[in-house]
Amino acid sequence: MSSLIERLQTRFEDEFHQDQPLAKFTSARVGGKASLFVIARTRDELQLAAELAYEYRIPYFVLGGGSNILVSDEGVRGLVIQNRCKRVKYRSNGVNVVCTADSGTNLSSLARQCINKGLSGLEWAVSVPGTVGGAVFGNAGAHGSDTKANLVSATVWEPGKGMRYMANDEMQYAYRESALKEEVRKGRPRPVILSAEFELVPEQVSVLQARADGFVAHRKETQPSGATMGSMFKNPEHFYAGYLIDTAGLKGTRMGGVHISKKHANFFLNDDNATAKDIVNLLDFVYQQVRDDFNVELEPEVELVGDWYFNDKREENSEWRLADSEEL
Ligand SMILES: Cc1cc2nc3c(=O)[nH]c(=O)nc-3n(C[C@H](O)[C@H](O)[C@H](O)COP(=O)(O)OP(=O)(O)OC[C@H]3O[C@@H](n4cnc5c(N)ncnc54)[C@H](O)[C@@H]3O)c2cc1C
């Protein structure tokens, strides 16, 4: 039987790599290498890559914009599938317009496209980095709205089961949470979002533009630019994580090559030479300080990818099975 490597090589040719550095594909610009790496440019390729990895019982991971993950310095064992499928279609449902976007579509570009077409719903996403897939997976949101507010359904490939439509209510969305995220947290093989449908309401372009411009201006005023992962921690119930970190006096705190932004305390900035370990150490330090000062246990919003130790406890790897070197 052909090995996984042979099959990936045959199918993906120049878009298949071994020991591919991942840092440049993440917004924090840190992290090690992926032992196996492919670029998927169509939904079929995305599904096929995941199916192959699943067939060989090799862990796989879909990489969107890399804007909500922290890849360990040791890298990722198994197959990383970079999602670049970007087809977008629009159709009328008689009342509104339904936009179907491949999961690798850049979310903010899609939001801009909808605004220019006079379609309302995704304005909140004009400055949220990443892909449609990442947003559907984590229920991304901003400015009082989120993915849940507009998603009709998503087409998802489920390992061992195949492809199916998941309606909005099946996603069990909550603040930066979804049923898909829960599956991964439980250590189950990863479902893969192939595309998503959003219902959008016709509205005047100038109104939508003004709304989006206001969101962008607010973000520029309140958030730093540079190599970050956005908010490091979720807002705990009844608190803002940034306010707690600021009030604990931690703005500007540095650990190795990373420091806490002076503009927004829930943002960590890579000074250019940070390691993933620096970032996780700072995450740990902030967690402990806030717990000691306010008795609040912050929960990281970013996903740690690879093997990690956090608060002296091994953070369970989301891979459901470790790759055997013979299988690779
Ligand atoms: C400057 C900055 C500002 C930000 N502001 C916001 C904000 O306002 N609101 C907000 O919600 N977030 C924000 N974020 C975080 C981030 O933009 C979102 O979480 C985004 O939705 C992540 O998408 P991604 O494509 O980058 O996902 P990635 O970081 O690549 O992946 C995140 C997770 O989603 C999974 N995933 C991605 N695509 C798929 C797929 N097709 N199928 C299955 N799983 C998939 C990955 O496997 C991984 O588990 C910000 C980040 C930065 C850097």
Per-residue model confidence (pLDDT) at position 307: 67
Question: Is 234 a member of any domain?
Answer: no
171 and 184 belong to one structural domain:
yes
Q: Is residue 217 part of a domain?
A: yes
Quote the pLDDT of residue 147.
98
Is any ligand 1 atom within 6 A of the Cβ of residue 194? no
Inter-CA distances, 123 with 27, 79, 115, 118, 205, Å: 22, 34, 7, 11, 11
Give the CATH number, domain containing residue 246.
3.90.78.10
Active-site pick, 120, 195, 231, 261 = 231
Cα(178) to centroid of ligand 1, in Å? 13
Q: What is the CATH number of the domain that holds 22?
A: 3.30.43.10
Note the pLDDT of residue 225. 94
The answer as to whether 323 is a domain residue is: no
Shared-domain flag, residues 97 and 186:
yes
Same domain, 145 and 209: yes
Q: Read off the CATH number of the domain in which 119 is found.
A: 3.30.465.10
How confident is the model at residue 316, as a pLDDT?
46
Residue with tokens 């806030």: 290
What are the tokens at 223?
Answer: 């958030």
Is residue 65 included in any domain, yes or no? yes
Q: What is the predicted pLDDT for the residue at 2?
A: 75
Q: Report the first-to-last Cα separation within the chain, whole angstroms.
A: 13
Please check whether residues 214 and 248 belong to one and the same domain: no
Query: Which of these three, 63, 83, 103, is where a domain ends?
Result: 83
Residues 71 and 119 in one domain: no
What is the full DSSP assignment across 80-103?
EEEE----EEEEE-SSSEEEEEET
Question: Is the shortest distance between the CB of 131 and ligand 1 below 6 Å?
Answer: yes
- 209 and 247 inside one domain: no
State the pLDDT at residue 234.
97
In a domain, 316, yes or no: no
Tens digits of residue pLDDT in 46-92 = 999 999 999 999 999 999 999 999 999 999 999 999 999 999 999 99
* Residue-level pLDDT at 326: 37
* CB of 79 closer than 8 Å to CB of 37: yes
**218 and 111 within one domain:** yes
Domain boundary among 61, 83, 105: 83
Instruction: Give catalytic status of residue 120 as yes or no.
Output: no
pTM score:
0.94
Residue 327 Cα to ligand 1 midpoint, Å, equals: 30
DSSP conformation class of 15: G
The greatest distance separating any two alpha carbons of the chain, rounded to the nearest whole angstrom, comes to 60
231 carries an active-site annotation: yes
> What parts of the chain have a pLDDT lower than 50?
316-328
Same domain flag for 164 and 269? no
Residue 328 covered by a domain: no
Last residue of one domain, picked from the residues 191, 222, 253: 222
Residues 155 and 257 occupy one common structural domain: no
> What domain count does the chain have?
3
Catalytic residue among 158, 301, 303, 319: 301
Nearest to 104 by CA among 135, 72, 71, 61: 135
Q: Which residue has the tokens 């608190």?
A: 239
Q: Is residue 326 included in any domain, yes or no? A: no
229 falls within a domain: no
* Structural domain boundaries enclosing 198: 88-222
301 part of the active site: yes
Cα(229) to ligand 1 centroid in Å equals 9
